[in-house]
A and B are shown apart, each in its own frame.
Chain A
């Protein structure tokens, strides 16, 4: 068995189809994803709003406004500042600088200055050419909201001074006026922040896992007397059928697992996909996935009345369809997959590519391991059923005809 295992591993590693589809293709597609989705994960994340503050006499004379600007442009620990402030001595120079920045990647979104009555004035940049026009609008809204917030607080202080000056002597009131307390608390419902691109990578991992069936399809065809002279020759050798089978399937499993691990490591360390730091559990998922793939390839290999080419074509078709419903082919197919999943959840449970990608999702987003273990169990059941289906053909010793 060890000899069979050793040489089957060697033969599979040198098999061009196996290496192209199970090893090279996921890496190539991951590389494409790196470039395709470079900006996808940044959508919805804001940069500090680039702002010019006019540092004129009114600014110098307004201590409250200066404090406001310092507070809003300084960064608290672990957080980005709200504004990225630059100073200009005059309004004219500030607006000129704002206009000149229109072609920058991050243009100056507006000018802040102390206006009449000490209230802040905001001059918005109408020529922003931000890569994402929607984000340009968000940045200017942030700027306006910040200025409005300052103006309303300033108005509140002014009103208090007129109506109840003694209240300002109360430390609690002044603390409340100066504090910037958030009105909402940010709570993440998932273990990790969701990223748009990981769905593609997980779907690709599902595709690569199912494509691993290519190895066992090839290796089992090498074992069957009716499909190749090599199979016939091996069947009459002095090693028991069971030992040959176990050696062959173990070799397929280990090669398919190794290919998946390489794809995983590429995604993890080159593409920078976050697997929530649960690497060992990811490897366990890949082991279960490659076992399922080994069983799938064996089951297709023993199908009667199909020649080797037809079996290879059938596997390719299965992999492509499975990957389609895992959402590998882009946004429209993801929507299709979601629609099908909603209408017919069973279709997702029998789709190995979906199970692999969902197992990865479970690891990334759930605190509990229950969903992950459910998907792994489904993969193992698939493997057991497929192996049982092919067992009769695989353990057969003699044939009525060849």
Chain B
């Protein structure tokens, strides 16, 4: 069943078309990555889904039901971890989590249990009575997450939750998201960190200018994109025959030799490096260090959205 279904969503800011007949369908149990450059419409799409923003056209359904600003029954099933840390500076860690959990759960006893679980989940047991201003950036992000998921939502939106956190905190946050997903929460995840998305997302969408440009699993997107595999080989000397035979290989698209390194750009394939090394061996060239980089999600992203700078 589609947990999130967005059809032909149009959102304008004056003359700017922020969402251009945007469509989105997220299945139950997914960790869905929503990728795009700054200003591509990711946050606008999420805010429209959450009914914080008005929109000009389109329909939004959550859990198979039409979403509206007063659908608190649906909102109670959603968790939100915003990009900017949104907590009360005046309340302690425990009080903040309890407050936000209270937006969804009325029963105080149940809330106590959920808050304790959330604190344990994000590893803030030693900071329960600490005010946010005394927390490090990573701890603050973890508090932000705990506030968003303490009520155990069926659907959780994570909007760039790992911005400006250290590698340890990032690893902890990603592990937590995966654990939540395994416990039954469907996750919508936005980030600029491609390696994160590749690590946690089961499916993703790349969007730009308010439109979906690509949709699929990370492997599918890499396979379908025009992104190239890059191979670098240290060689004392590149025989002329070897150069000619390498250029003749079907996967090789470009070859450049700047002694002592040979640079090759190949179509994405499973055995490009083996083919190249076989040719070199047959031609009597002895390779030294070999470095091969299959196309990454980052390459796919740049291939799809372009390399020009954004705001």
Contact = CB atoms under 8 A, between A and B. Distances in A.
Interface in B24-79: 47, 50-54, 69-70, 72, 75-76, 78
Q: Find the residue from B53, B75, B99 having the highest chain A CB count within 10 A.
A: B99
A183 interface: no
Contacts of B76: 238
A35 interface: no
A203 B268 CA distance: 80
A202 to B, nearest CB: 32
Given A7-B99, A398-B53, A398-B54, A238 B72 contact: yes
Interface in A56-107: none
B100 interface: yes
Given A15-B90, A230-B88, A235 B52 contact: yes
Interface string B276-292: 00000000000000000
Given A233-B147, A401-B53, 9 more contacts: A4-B99, A7-B102, A11-B91, A232-B52, A236-B52, A238-B72, A400-B13, A400-B54, A402-B52
Interface residues of B, number: 32
A339 interface: no
A399 B52 CA distance: 6
A225 B69 CA distance: 14
A135 B102 CA distance: 68
Given A225-B52, A237-B100, A238-B103, A7 B88 contact: yes
Interface residues of A, number: 28
A14 to B, nearest CB: 4
30 contacts: A3-B98, A3-B99, A3-B106, A7-B88, A7-B91, A7-B99, A11-B91, A14-B91, A15-B90, A229-B84, A229-B85, A232-B82, A233-B80, A233-B82, A233-B100, A234-B86, A235-B52, A236-B78, A236-B80, A237-B103, A238-B72, A238-B75, A238-B104, A240-B72, A397-B51, A397-B70, A398-B52, A398-B69, A399-B52, A400-B54
A236 B102 contact: no
A222 interface: yes
Interface string B83-113: 0111110110001001110111010000000
Contacts of A232: 52, 82, 86
Contacts of A235: 52
Contacts of B102: 3-4, 7, 239
